[in-house]
Amino acid sequence: MTFSSLLPLFAAIPLLAAGLSVVVRRAWLDRALLLLVPVGTLIGAVALLIHHQSNAVVAHSVGSFSGVVAIPFVSDTFTAIMLAVTGFATLCASVFLLKTGEDRFRFATALILLLSGGVNGALLTGDLFNLFVFVEVMLLPSYALIAITGTWRRLGIGRSFVIVNLVTSTVLLIGVGLVYGAAGTVNLAALAGAASEDPMIGLAVTVVLVALAIKGGMVPVHGWLPSTYPMTSAGIMALFSALHTKVALYAIFRIYSITFEGAAPWMPVLLVLVLATMLVGSFSTMASKTLRGALAFQMVAGVGHILVAVVVMTEASLAAGMFYMVHHIITMGGLILASGALEHTYGNAKLGGLSGMLGREKLLAVLFALGLGSLVGLPPTSGLWGKAGLVVSAAAAEDAAGVSGAWIAGLTIGGIIVASIISLIALQRVWSTLFFGHVQETYRPDDTRTGRGDPKPLTADVKCSARLLAPATVLIAASLALFFFAGLVLPLFETAAHGLMDPSSYIKAVLG
């Protein structure tokens, strides 16, 4: 048995565990699976990262068929990084779900394990059709997770999530079909450079990328994200934040870099949309009336920042974009789980409904200050290095698709700075609203049936418990670690970016 032959287990084990959870109905087994599967993914991903120090790419064709017709599972440094960070975020969200008791919902564990299996498969697959299949494996349990968690409004709002994703999945499948019709294959290694050489293949790949951009939450088709994610529970929203949009962005990085091998002719349009995504996400944060609503709009702004890497399309920009994506998964997960702890304890998610918390929740005040500061890009947080890397790489942008490098640099750097200033103003309002102002006298404890209990006097013993805050604390601590140990991890991102810009090892590993 070779190392590469173990790759399908990343998808198979969560799917088998989901089946076991359904067949054997034991609460202790569900809790064990909910924790052990992401732990196993994290350990396996770290092992992959170590293996990639001496082997740039490992690939396995299921059934040992030839490379073009088999189902290829491929891993390089970028894949291993994403497996590790999504496994870590899934573990923290799962712990939070256990602490809030949401794991007791019927089939919740099985649905989360199915979601994990789909995510791991989408990160590892080496062809477009199986990417579509794993994305659907990822989405189907998500529809059910929205239905069983969150407030009663989820039942109405969830329809937007289902409709948008069903339509987008149809567009994705059409795009995959067009690629096969134009190129005769959907294997990414076999499609290397094809989109830049053949306009028909380029158009077909563009349809695939458009579908992924919608799933990623890019403006102007982002509205479904801030309207649906906050309606789920905080634990499920943290899962969706770490997995759904990030898998789409990962796929955009992978597909765009290998099929176009440079700037696509529509890159100027992408540049405008990326700028709009950063600015609309940041501006909209100011108007949000709920804590998790503000975070959802920051997710949209984060999508724009991450895709700056694709616009500039250099090794430095891709490394910075990957670093920013990892930072965003960890930091956003920490903030969502911290807001979930507030909601679970005080039964209120509205800005203004929670105030004067500084004296009561000092640890939360620190966690929010660090997390929100990281989204803005303030030291000492990982967001600073992510944005600094994007700015430095954008400053060295070269001419592409008829747009001068100076314009690309000016617009992207200007967009990052303006979006950061607006985010700073909006998130400062969020923090001060939560922790300053009048000290509230009543609270509405969380009610898993109705969402909100009846108002009760707020006594001194009502505080977020340490166990409830632990997952958010771990994630925000990881964000801090990324800042202080950036020098140790940056070479990993540089290696991953080199693998995207020079796919020769990827092609050789898949096609032989």
Q: In whole angstroms, what is the distance from residue 213 CA to residue 72 CA?
A: 24
Instruction: Kindly tell me the number of DSSP H helices and DSSP E strands found in the chain.
Output: 19, 6
Segment 291-349, tens digit of pLDDT: 999 999 999 999 999 999 999 999 999 999 999 999 999 999 999 999 999 888 888 77
Segment 218-258, tens digit of pLDDT: 999 888 898 888 888 889 999 999 998 899 999 999 999 99
Phi, psi dihedral angles at 378 (to 5 degrees): -95, 150
pLDDT score recorded for residue 417: 95
Look up the domain containing 247 and give its range.
3-511
Contacts of 261 (CB under 8 A, 6+ apart): 192, 193, 196, 503
b/e 354-385 (16+ beta carbons within 10 angstroms → b):
bbbbbebbeebbebbbbbbbbbbbbeebbbbb
Per the prediction, the chain carries an average pLDDT of 90
pTM above 0.75, yes or no: yes
Domains contained in the chain, number: 1
